[in-house]
A = this chain, B = another copy of it.
Amino acid sequence: MSERVSFENDYNTGCHPRILAALTKTNAERTTGYGLDRYSDEARLLIKDACRAPNADVHFLVGGTQVNFIVAAGVLKPWQGVLSAETGHVNVHEAGAIEATGHKVLVVESQDGLLSADSIDQYCQSYHDDPTAEHMVQPGMIYLSQTTELGTVYHLKDLQAIRQVADRWGLTLFVDGARLASALAIEETKIDLPALAEIADVFSIGGTKCGALFGEAVVITKDSLKRDFRSLVKQRGGLLAKGRLLGVQFRELFRDRLYIEIGRHENDMAAALTEQFVARGFEFYAPPMSNQLFVLMDESDEKHFWERAVFERIGIQKDGRRICRFVTSFSTEKAEIDALFAQ
């Protein structure tokens, strides 16, 4: 497999060279543990600045599944559930992490991985109108990810409409930003960090899939969710002893525009892939927008590309075409794309 290029995912190498350099440079320093060190302090400030959210709380956790269930645990009442698209990571690929914290994932109709304000509103209206509502799981939080599991993105007006629905029904709005760098680099969405911080009650800024060795920043803007969050993180295994590793990494990502640059690079590489696939007449399972492409290909094409590259097949359509996922990362090189399409 070593000779094939890889578009398997955006976490198949180590970290961005600048992050490695920062970790190396600080390796011998002694700091206190659990994220109370000066690097974590600086990183928190940089993120709050980038979000123009001076009153936000910022926490650094290790992984994305961890972020999602810890946020759910902190936000929800025991009888509440999480509204999610059927394709939502919390619904499919976290081995029941949300349920293991005691909460049901409530599947709301979605399109290309995207929830709509209307579908959420109808779900809540229907719950509210049901005479047996108190025997059902109460919607408590909206979970959505930017970008989605299908690589699509929300635009500002989409999120604003969802925010209104959240307010109407008293829901907390949580945005999973595991691949936020890629989304932020798409200017047409009009969602930058300050916009996100204004709309979401809590959101994450992914490191793992955006150039870091690991790590997700959780930004809490809603006051009532801030209290004792560190205790919850500790309890659920998310408080890293050498917390400064997270601080050093996020400080590097947010010292300048490295985070956005990584997103832009991912998208540029994905656009180059898309161009090639389109030129060859391939269609897509979901519209290509960010650093994940879902290409439809028949068995022989899949075989052809599989000899050249590692990628994931996420399913087979009824027409027999495979849904093949190609992902770009901070470390994807143009040469790898060329190699994929070499004769």
CB distance from A47 to the nearest CB of B (A): 21
Whether a CB of chain B sits under 8 angstroms from the CB of A13 is yes
Copies of the polypeptide in the assembly = 4
User: Residue on B with the closest CB to A74?
Assistant: B78
Tell me what chain A mostly uses at the interface: helix, strand, loop, or mixed: loop
Question: In the complex, what residues of B have CB within 8 A of residue A78's CB?
Answer: 73-74, 100-101, 232, 235
Q: Are the C-beta atoms of A138 and B228 separated by less than 8 Å?
A: yes
Comparing A50-58, A88-96, A110-118, A187-195, the segment that makes contact with chain B is A88-96
Q: Are the C-beta atoms of B81 and A99 separated by less than 8 Å?
A: yes
Whether a CB of chain B sits under 8 angstroms from the CB of A286 is no
A41 to B214, CA, bound (A): 20
Whether a CB of chain B sits under 8 angstroms from the CB of A280 is no
Q: Are the C-beta atoms of B79 and A231 separated by less than 8 Å?
A: yes
Whether a CB of chain B sits under 8 angstroms from the CB of A343 is no
Question: In the complex, what residues of B have CB within 8 A of residue A310's CB?
Answer: 30, 32
CB distance from A116 to the nearest CB of B (A): 20
Q: How many residues of A contact B (CB 8 A)?
A: 76
Whether a CB of chain B sits under 8 angstroms from the CB of A134 is yes
Please pick, from B12, B27, B136, B241, the residue contacting A214 in the complex, using a CB distance under 8 A: B241
Given contacts A69-B237, A237-B69, contact A228 B134 (CB under 8 A): yes
A70-B237, A95-B231 given. 13 additional CB < 8 A pairs?
A8-B32, A20-B27, A62-B240, A63-B240, A63-B241, A74-B78, A79-B232, A93-B135, A95-B135, A97-B235, A97-B236, A99-B104, A131-B313
